[in-house]
Chain A
Amino acid sequence: MVLGYTPFVDALGVHDQWYLLIIPMVVFIGIGYKAVRVPDMGDYFKEVIMFIIQVLGGMAILAAVFTFVITVLIPLLAPMPGV
């Protein structure tokens, strides 16, 4: 029993980059979901890429909005003394 990283057995040590894991998840969801949803398989890759861009773009916009609200808007509306 040697302590060391074994893929698929041990957890990855990417605690600081956890948010990047959305990228492979969205890629696989897009590949699987569009495989059953596109009417014409000729458009498959285009639809998968559009799906990935839409989801990641939406998440990036949400992240930007929430960051603005938490770091700028809330401190303006409800300033806390000493912070």
Chain B
Amino acid sequence: MVSGRRGRGLGAMVGVLGLFLLGLLIGGIDAVDSKSGSDRFWFIGQAMVGPIAFGVDYVHQNHFKAYDLSTGQTRTGNPDERRVFDGTRYVWEQLSPAQMDQGMGPPNVPGLGRLNEIAMLSCTLAGMLNVIVFLDALIVTPYRKISKKLGVESDGGSS
């Protein structure tokens, strides 16, 4: 968009952000996780989306995860736990059946199985698509050379 190709920039933005938000919609905030198991490898691709991916990851790590006292590691909560502040940090506290009946639980419901995979894939595809957009903006592609030679305006649908 900065280079004056507004139509292309808008399309690329809708594609990249649409895929990223679709991933979040499918798998919840758990789809972006830079510290958990194999999810961190997916985050390498998701990070290519830009600051929004790091922002979502920050919120996920600091506002949705808590420490598991048995391992000393942060993790996503189970359905029978709630996130409580013990004076120094957030930890997971086991809930009783009565508390669960009152609607208490973890702050988010993580995606499981296929849905989690599809959600992470969607966010990662957004990052990979963004790399394609970077490369298109940085490298002169053949169609732009042809368009220049022919004197064709190749953006904004004005041709």
Contacts and interface: CB of A to CB of B under 8 A. Distances in A.
Interface stretch (A12-20, A53-61, A69-77): A12-20
B73 to A, nearest CB: 21
A41 B118 contact: no
Given A1-B104, A3-B103, A10-B109, A18 B11 contact: no
15 contacts: A8-B28, A11-B110, A11-B115, A12-B111, A15-B114, A18-B118, A28-B14, A31-B18, A32-B16, A35-B10, A35-B12, A36-B132, A39-B146, A39-B154, A44-B7
A14 B122 CA distance: 16
B48 interface: no
Contacts, number: 137
Given A11-B115, A32-B11, A32-B133, A25 B16 contact: no
A29 B129 contact: yes
B11 A14 contact: no
A33 B118 CA distance: 19
A21 interface: yes
Q: Is the interface of B mostly helix, strand, loop or mixed?
A: helix
B157 A44 contact: yes
A15 B106 CA distance: 21
B107 A11 contact: no
Nearest to B79: A3
B21 A8 contact: yes
